[in-house]
Amino acid sequence: MITLLVLLGAALLLGLLVMALYNSLVRSANMVQEGLSGVDVQLTRRAELIPNLVQTVKGYMTHERELVEQIATLHARSMAAQGTGERLQAEGLLGQALGKILALAEAYPDLKASANFTQLQNSLAEIESELQMARRYYNGAVRNLNIAVDSFPSNIVARMFGFGKAEFFEAENSKRQVPVVDFASK
């Protein structure tokens, strides 16, 4: 009788442990989804701003048509991206191109003085700041989920219920370098 009670107690404790670990994994996975949603909101805000920025810049930057066209192409590519990895990669390239166009604006005093461009530039700076915060939140949520998926004993529960590791939002090596902007070519 005592052996039966001990076995039932052990089974109950094991069940409670599995339930607690499962709930922890669900919470972590939901935080990753929430973080990705936050990044997506900021990327959408930036995407909505880009056409206005491109139109404003087009009239002033006659020599940089290629850069303006590249931004338009990257914008379309990011909007058509399938999956998290592809979307994050496309958005990274787009962010790099936007940095170049803002740096080039220094060479165009009329553009720099334009109230519309200044407003767009300030909006873009605000969005980029919020995007950076959203990326950090997302990466923190991914870190927590990945630790839970890799750690014992939650890794056993993760495998049992199909929880997997999530992908970090990382800049590629080429994006970590400061873009080269050459004003002498005019």
Angle between helices 84-104 and 2-58 (to 10 degrees): 30
Per-residue pLDDT of the chain (186 residues; tens, 9 = 90+): 899 999 999 999 999 999 999 999 999 999 999 999 998 898 888 888 888 777 777 766 665 677 777 888 888 888 888 877 787 788 888 888 888 777 777 777 766 667 777 788 888 888 888 989 999 999 999 999 999 999 999 999 999 999 999 988 876 544 444 444 443 444
CATH numbers and ranges of domains, the chain: 17-176 (1.20.1440.20)
